[in-house]
Amino acid sequence: MSGFLSAHGYEPGPTQRPFLAGAISGTLATAPAVALLYVLGSLAIEARILGLPIAGTIIAGWLLMAVAGAAYARLLGRAANDPRGGWLFGMAFGFALWAAGGVFILPLAGDGQLPTGPAATGVFLSLVLWGGALGGVLPFIHRLLHRRLDDVEIAVNLGSTAAAPGIPRP
């Protein structure tokens, strides 16, 4: 995957809006994840661990996932725009988020309490589902948000002075 990312380049394209596209995609992808958390009973347990009402837990989760979506779009750059492979990158990101959040941060935030049994499975599956949905939907959201070529400001490093590496004379 690192080879894939480096081949595409770590920088997003000049016409892309990765943060906005990622935040919107992350928000959209949260809907099926919340549904899964609810069905498997994880939502209520998470709310109890965090000491929040269920509605508050959903709102906090939604905000967090919007930020996570923006981070995903920026980190994966052009690779995140691939309509065929995006879902797989997204699932990998969701898995990493589960490892970081569900396994590492949640126990700290919850004072050692953790979801167990089906609720724990729900947390894991919801994050992988969220990642898959995020990766699947982002390439299409990203295209809707493309800036037109004529609207893109040409940065100094793309102009004719780009030919000059600017080596100082000793």
Partner 1 sequence: MAATEHYRHWKADLQLCVALGLSHLRYGPPLHLTCPARDRYDWSFVDLVMAEMKEIHLTPIVDLCHFGVPSWLENFQNPELPGALTAYAEAFARRYPWVRFYTPVNEMYVCAKMSALDGVWNEQMRDEKAFAAAAFNLARASIAMTEAILAVRPDAIFVNSESSEFCQPCCPDPEIQRIAQFENERRFLPLDLIYGHSVSEGMRRHLRDHGIKDTDFDGLMAREVPRRSIIGVDYYEWNERLIDSDGRARSLGELFGWYVIASQYYDRYKRPMMHTETNRMDASDGPRWLWRQWHNLQLLRSTGVPLVGFTWYSLTDQVDWEIALGKAIGNVDPVGLFDLNRDIRSVGLTYKRLIDMHMDQPGYGTCPALEKIMAQ
Taking the complex as a whole, the smallest distance from the CB of residue 44 to partner 1 amounts, in Å, to 40
Contact with partner 1 (CB under 8 A) among 32, 83, 101, 118: 83
Least distance (Å) from partner 1 to the CB of residue 85? Answer: 10
CA 150 from chain center: how many Å? Answer: 29
Chain residues 98-117 in contact with partner 1, contact rule CB under 8 A? none
C-alpha distances in Å from residue 23, one per residue of 10, 54, 123, 124: 19, 22, 21, 21
2 binds partner 1 (CB under 8 A): no
SS3 content of the chain, % helix, strand, coil (to 5): 75, 0, 25
Residue 24 per-residue DSSP state: H
Binding track, positions 4-33, relative to partner 1; x by CB under 8 A = x--xxx-x-xxxx-----------------
How big is the CA angle at 23 (ends 90 and 113), to the nearest 5 degrees? 70
Nearer to partner 1, 7 or 108 (CB): 7
- The yes or no reply on residue 167 touching partner 1 (CB under 8 A) is no
Least spacing, CB of residue 27 vs partner 1, in Å: 22
Do the Cβ atoms of 89 and 82 come closer than 8 Å?
yes
| Least distance in angstroms from the C-beta of 88 to partner 1 | 15
Angstrom distance (rounded) from CA 73 to CA 71: 6
Interface with partner 1 (CB under 8 A): 3-4, 7-9, 11, 13-16, 78, 81-83, 139, 146, 149, 152, 154, 157-163, 165
